[in-house]
Amino acid sequence: VTTLSTVPEAASRSPKGEQTRQAIVAAALDLFRAGGYDRTTMRAIADAAGVSLGNAYYYFGSKEHLVQAFYDRVQVEHAAAAEEVLSRETAFAARLAGVLDAWVNVAAPYHAFAGKFFKNAAEPTSPLSPFSQESQGARAASVSLFATVLDGSDLKLTPALRAEMPELLWLMHMGVVLFWVHDSSPGQRRTRVLVAQAVPLVDKLARMTRLPVVRGVVNDLVALVRSLRS
Amino acid sequence: VTTLSTVPEAASRSPKGEQTRQAIVAAALDLFRAGGYDRTTMRAIADAAGVSLGNAYYYFGSKEHLVQAFYDRVQVEHAAAAEEVLSRETAFAARLAGVLDAWVNVAAPYHAFAGKFFKNAAEPTSPLSPFSQESQGARAASVSLFATVLDGSDLKLTPALRAEMPELLWLMHMGVVLFWVHDSSPGQRRTRVLVAQAVPLVDKLARMTRLPVVRGVVNDLVALVRSLRS
């Protein structure tokens, strides 16, 4: 098992180092998109980025690390694109829809790549799965964005559900991403329609969980999910 | 794309043919279990079953067809094992728990195999995925078993949800199967505990969907899911 700790953080985060890192990631994405993930070699990536193979390996221990860097990059772009709506809106539905839409905007340039790459990421035991140990960094950052959606919103929840909600919203986001991967409509229009239709229902369901008749079952469900994790 | 229509149905369903089919499936399962799916060849399966390679291919167009035959077999065994509880109970929760537990009993001999095989079945684009086109036969049979759970039960649902419920119960069953694959407790005891804990919650949630405040959102959700399918 390779780990990201092999990447020399200090060196790679200097302005020059960061520029080289980004050039390598950009070259990798171009090649993954053109020839597929499996058939792209580190040598081809180094060549396309104009660096030596040794230098490419200095920044990224493997192709897998390049994909994790890609996940991290999309995540940073997503958080930046979501800032505007989160500073403006307090209604939960508007915040959630804004953040989900921001991702569709940010991810648009990678749509063709995502279609080819899906097979690699969809395998649950793969380190490239969004659910894997290796993707933990990008996943935690994304979950914390959905925690922000909730924090600044008018939505009130029972404490048990409140604690789980950021991860549940992230799961919803993964559902939208899955739909988006297979969405061949121009500009991924169908994904935007899905977000527009699904968000009001999630909003209503979330508010319903505080009703006396519903609250007990929801708390039991949360307790069951928690016991499964441990 | 290979299809099951290449299997000569009439021949393979004669008593002698059926015996040979079952011998080939049993040999394949033994070898998959011992050496993994990917590394097992049709030749090794034919040898272990004591038939010629040509004869093995006469019954099964590929290793994939053998797995589909395995799915079908588990499905038939599951339906038979569920008969007793379904003829005895009318309470929805008791029927659902009985059918989910029956699967855990029937699948127990394949637990070691399932752990090794999971990687192949978990890949969503694989024909061996329970969600694939190729698995449609076994999936439809399983969904219809969950329709029976519902049909003979005391559970009342709105018409929209009623129509979707057999498939939702099948999805729940898939969740239990996923948990079971990773369950290393003796006799898959933890899976049985999960069923015992989850079923009463599903029962309560299902009954709640008829409450006036909840019904509208549930109908909207069902309509959204339906629109996504088409």
Query: What are the pLDDT tens digits along chain B (230 aa)?
Result: 333 434 444 444 678 888 999 999 999 988 988 888 888 999 999 999 999 999 999 999 999 889 998 899 899 999 999 999 999 999 999 999 999 999 999 999 889 888 778 878 887 778 888 989 989 999 999 999 999 999 999 999 999 999 999 999 999 999 999 999 999 999 999 999 999 999 999 999 999 999 888 899 999 999 998 888 77
Tokens 């939960």 sit on residue: A92
Smallest Cα distance from B81 to chain A, Å = 27
Q: Which residues of chain A have pLDDT under 70?
A: 1-13
Of B118, B194, B221, Cβ closest to residue A228: B194
User: Which class for A14: exposed (0-12), middle (13-18), buried (19 or more C-beta within 10 A)?
Assistant: exposed
Q: Are the beta carbons of B146 and B75 closer than 8 angstroms?
A: no
pLDDT for B127: 87
Tokens 């559900």 sit on residue: A161
Amino acid letter, residue B153: S
Nearest to B59 by CA among B73, B44, B46: B46
Structure tokens at A145: 């964005």
Structure tokens at B205: 């949630």
CB < 8 Å to A224, chain B: 197-198, 201
Q: Are the beta carbons of B93 and B203 closer than 8 angstroms?
A: yes
Tokens 């016991």 sit on residue: A227
Distance of CA A15 to the CA centre of its chain: 25
Smallest Cα distance from B89 to chain A, Å = 24
pLDDT for B5: 39
Half-sphere exposure at residue B43, Cβ-oriented, CA atoms within 13 angstroms: 1
Coil, strand or helix at A220: helix
pLDDT for B13: 63
Decide if the complex's ipTM is over 0.95. Answer: no
Smallest Cα distance from B174 to chain A, Å = 15
Residues of A with CB under 8 A from a CB of B: 118-119, 122-125, 179, 194, 197-198, 201, 204-205, 208, 211, 213-214, 217, 220-221, 224, 227-228
- CA-based radius of gyration for chain A: 20
**b (16+ CB within 10 A) / e for B77-110:** bbbebbeebbeebeebbbbbbbbbbbbbebbeeb
Coil, strand or helix at A152: coil
Q: Are the beta carbons of A101 and A66 closer than 8 angstroms?
A: no
pLDDT for A206: 95
Instruction: Report in angstroms the alpha-carbon separations of A120 from A103, A123, A127, A222.
Output: 21, 6, 9, 31
Q: CA of A201: which chain B residue's CA is closest?
A: B217
pLDDT for A143: 97
Can you give the three-state secondary structure of A24-90, one letter per residue?
HHHHHHHHHHHHCCCCCCHHHHHHHHCCCHHHHHHHCCCHHHHHHHHHHHHHHHHHHHHHHHHHHCC
Say how far apart CA B17 and CA A134 lie, in whole Å.
Answer: 49
Say how far apart CA A123 and CA B126 lie, in whole Å.
Answer: 10
User: Which class for B11: exposed (0-12), middle (13-18), buried (19 or more C-beta within 10 A)?
Assistant: middle
Smallest Cα distance from A129 to chain B, Å = 11
Q: Do B213 and A208 touch (CB under 8 A)?
A: yes
Of B122, B125, B221, Cβ closest to residue A201: B221
